[in-house]
Amino acid sequence: MENRVEQGAERRPGRGRCSSSAAVKRGFTLIELLVVIAVVAIVTGFAVPGFGNLRRAAGVSVTASELLGALHFARSAAVLNGEPVTLCLSANQETCVASGSEAATGWLVFPDPGARLSGAAAAGQPILRSFRSPDDVVVQGSRAAVTFWPVTRASTTSTFDVCDVNPEVSRKVRGRAVVVSQTGRPRVAAEEAACGP
């Protein structure tokens, strides 16, 4: 067989071979990379405080939802078990705080057969539920505890304010108020909690 070049087909220089004029170099220069890094750093610097406040607001919201759930649980447990059940604010998840104005970091739910709050979880009574709020969230109340009786529509009243611990952040992060009515119905109030220094 002979090597023939067909008519109309021409050899094009550089096809199949690397020629210095046809090679295209791809990539970024050092200056372009530094500009991109600087822009990302500036945007991140503006976004980080916003994300911090968003995280703290989520902590307040989750704590208020957990408190609302615990109040519903205590109310149901009182009716189902036929004995009073108390939810009290707690600073150590072992005992109740003495007054509602103390900053609590969680709460306890326990049966309270005597239906009187002694300032501590009833001796010998099991803790039905406990909760510890995130480190930057505190709960205060108009009372340290609420008791639900087995009779429907009977409880002590209280308003619990769920707030961020930092007064500077509290102005930016909306506090939540959880209210227990005299009929025993807990709800998250539409109005903002009284979170102040």
CA distances from residue 99 to 36, 47, 143 in whole angstroms, order as listed: 55, 39, 6
For the full predicted model, state whether its pTM sits above 0.85.
no
Residue 182: which residues within 8 A CB-CB, separation 6 or more? 155, 157
Classify residue 14 by burial, with Cβ atoms within 10 Å: 0-12, 13-18, 19+: exposed
- Quick one: which of 171, 166, 136, 159 has its CA closest to 62? 136
Could you tell me the two tokens for 25? 């170099």
Strands (DSSP E) contained in 62-112 are: 85-90, 106-111
- SS3 for 60? helix
Residues forming beta bridges with residue 141, ordered by sequence position = 160
Q: What is the pLDDT along the chain (197 residues), one digit of tens a residue?
A: 445 555 555 555 555 555 555 566 778 888 888 999 999 888 887 766 667 777 888 888 899 999 999 999 999 998 898 889 999 999 988 888 888 888 899 999 999 887 654 445 555 678 899 899 988 899 998 888 899 888 766 777 889 999 888 766 656 778 888 999 888 889 888 777 777 65
Q: Hey, where are the domains in the chain?
A: 30-192
Query: Does the 30-192 domain belong in CATH 3.90.1150.10?
Result: no
